[in-house]
Amino acid sequence: MVELAWPWLLVLLPLPLIVSRLLPRARGAVGAALHLPHAGVALPQQVDASRVPGLRRALGLLAWMLLTLAVARPQWLGVPEDVPRSGRDLLLAVDTSGSMSIEDMQLGGAPVPRFAAIQAIASDFVQRRAGDRVGLILFGSRAYLMVPLTFDLKTVGTQLMESAIGLAGRETAIGDAIALAVKRLRERPQPQRVVVLLTDGVNTSGELDPKKATELAVANQVRVYTIGIGADAMRVNSLFGSRVVNPSADLDEAMLTQMAEQTGGRYFRARNSEELADIYRSIDKLEPAADAKQSLRPVDELYWIPLGGAVALGALAFLLPGFRLRGTAAA
């Protein structure tokens, strides 16, 4: 569908007619006759330059009409398309330390490492964030931004699935992970800054203490949801037989709870894959994704079409008197 962006400029259409009515007509007299001394010799009659041919005037008016149409900016409006709307800015911070290799989680009835369960469930969570910008931070001995905030959820999921335990080191730098997330989010609108941090241990590395990182998050109004992952009981085999141990003995739940509460978030405990999936569903309710059904209509500018026609007609009107004079001379 074709529409005009500035249709009010069409009021300029009658401007040439108004100007021609207001300006006084030119009164150019024909020059005095030149008498030659020899009888029978005469010069061709000069063409009166004050008389504009009707065709030239018509071309000029048509060129003006096209020029006015070009100034009014004709546009082609395409079919409305659904596009993602800028919603929340959510950074997923995932622990890749050595303890994430403990096989105390299950997927499909089979034991899997903690990190494998996070990969499967968190990837599904990411794909449901349509309308939000999502980024990925991996942390171990240090914290690294793997994917900056983006609408490309497929890339975030792919990078998470291709990550590996120990990729960022074997220790746990929780404070550095939060600090990096705050650094990436502090330029974004305040109500939209969200971090989801998953870890199975205690801060053992990094340059920034978790308490200082929490203060930094509070100062920049970044909401942090923390998830402590790992079973409370696990049977292991040894030289003295099998025994039950607590594989999450090192999990610092007090620190994770304090971090979440001070920033306006919430702490969750995931002892198995089902609880982890439920936690992501809870976060979906607490931080609903933006409405992805915002529609935009693609716009193509068409002003160049009437503008080109106006230039062509103007050039033709300018050259027309020359063609007329040459035709008269040849006659």
Report the pLDDT value the prediction gives residue 203, as an integer from 0 to 100: 92
Q: How many domains does the chain have?
A: 2
- Same domain, yes or no, for 138 and 202? yes
| DSSP string computed for 237-262 | EETTEEEEE-TTTT--HHHHHHHHHH
Mean pLDDT within 243-271: 92
pLDDT score of 50 more than 50: no
Q: Are 57 and 269 in contact (CB under 8 A)?
A: no
pLDDT score of 119 more than 50: yes
Report the pLDDT value the prediction gives residue 324, as an integer from 0 to 100: 52
**Residue 110 in domain:** yes
| DSSP string computed for 54-94 | HHHHHHHHHHHHHHHHHHT-EEEE---EE------EEEEEE
- Same domain, yes or no, for 259 and 306? no
Report the pLDDT value the prediction gives residue 201, as an integer from 0 to 100: 85
Q: Return the higher-pLDDT residue of 127 and 84.
A: 127
- Same domain, yes or no, for 96 and 188? yes
- Same domain, yes or no, for 310 and 251? no
pLDDT band at 159 (very low <50, low <70, confident <90, very high): very high
Which range of 1-5, 33-37, 118-122, 292-296 scores highest in mean pLDDT? It is: 118-122
State phi, psi for 211 to the nearest 5 degrees: -65, -45
Q: Are 202 and 227 in contact (CB under 8 A)?
A: no
Exposure pattern of 36-71 as b/e (b: 16+ CB <10 Å)?
A: eeeeeeeeeeeeeeeeeeeebeebbebbbbbbbbbb
Structural domain range at position 230: 89-286
Report the pLDDT value the prediction gives residue 130, as an integer from 0 to 100: 82
Mean pLDDT within 250-256: 93
CATH of the domain at 187: 3.40.50.410
- Same domain, yes or no, for 70 and 4? yes
Which range of 41-45, 215-219, 322-326 scores highest in mean pLDDT? It is: 215-219
Q: Return the higher-pLDDT residue of 26 and 213.
A: 213
In sign, the C-alpha dihedral spanning 150, 151, 152, 156 is: positive
Mean per-residue pLDDT over the chain, rounded: 83
